[in-house]
């Protein structure tokens, strides 16, 4: 289903795992205590949402410091919304006590573009301070 209010309003305050796809590739996977709340944060481009923060970094080149300091401009919000229009989502209904472990297992197997191990390792490498030249 496309990520928009028409497809999320009926989800309610239920736990589960959210899978976000682009062209059948998993780009983001997250366990959520409230599927409706998490998807609405994404739809509204809330910078407190993990996916939105990751997209601001990867797609728009924001630093973590810039994300914390600034309000997202309408132009940048629209850029993120344009990317989100290409995405679809699917849900896995699961007991909250198991959702984090199951989500982490899926992340290891599918290595999503936005929150997989490859992305996380690249971020670690990018944050290594450069050696000063003498």
Domain annotation for the chain: domains and CATH numbers:
5-126 (3.40.1440.10)
The H-or-E segment that residue 56 falls in is helix 50-60
Instruction: Determine how many CB atoms are found less than 10 A away from the CB of residue 117.
Output: 11
pTM, entire model: 0.82
Contact present, 91 and 17 (Cβ < 8 Å): yes
What span, in angstroms and rounded, lies between the C-alpha atoms of 67 and 56? 8
* Under-70 pLDDT residues of the chain: 7, 9, 134
Vertex 42 angle, CA 38 and 46, to 5° = 100
Q: For 3-30, how does the pLDDT look when each residue is reduced to its tens digit (9 = 90+)?
A: 877 767 677 788 889 999 999 899 999 9
Q: What does the pLDDT read at residue 9?
A: 66
């Amino acid at each position: 289903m496309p990520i928009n209010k028409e497809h999320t309003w009926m989800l309610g305050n239920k736990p589960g795992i959210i899978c976000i796809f682009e062209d059948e590739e998993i780009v983001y996977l997250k366990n959520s205590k409230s599927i409706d709340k998490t998807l609405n944060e994404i739809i509204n481009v809330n910078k407190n949402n993990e996916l939105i923060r990751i997209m601001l970094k990867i797609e728009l080149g924001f630093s973590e410091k810039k994300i914390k300091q600034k309000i997202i401009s309408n132009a940048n919000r629209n850029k993120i919304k344009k990317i989100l229009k290409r995405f679809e989502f699917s849900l896995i209904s699961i007991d909250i006590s198991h959702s984090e472990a199951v989500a982490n297992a899926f992340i290891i197997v599918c290595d999503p573009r936005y929150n997989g191990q490859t992305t996380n390792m690249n971020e670690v490498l990018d944050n290594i301070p450069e050696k000063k030249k003498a």
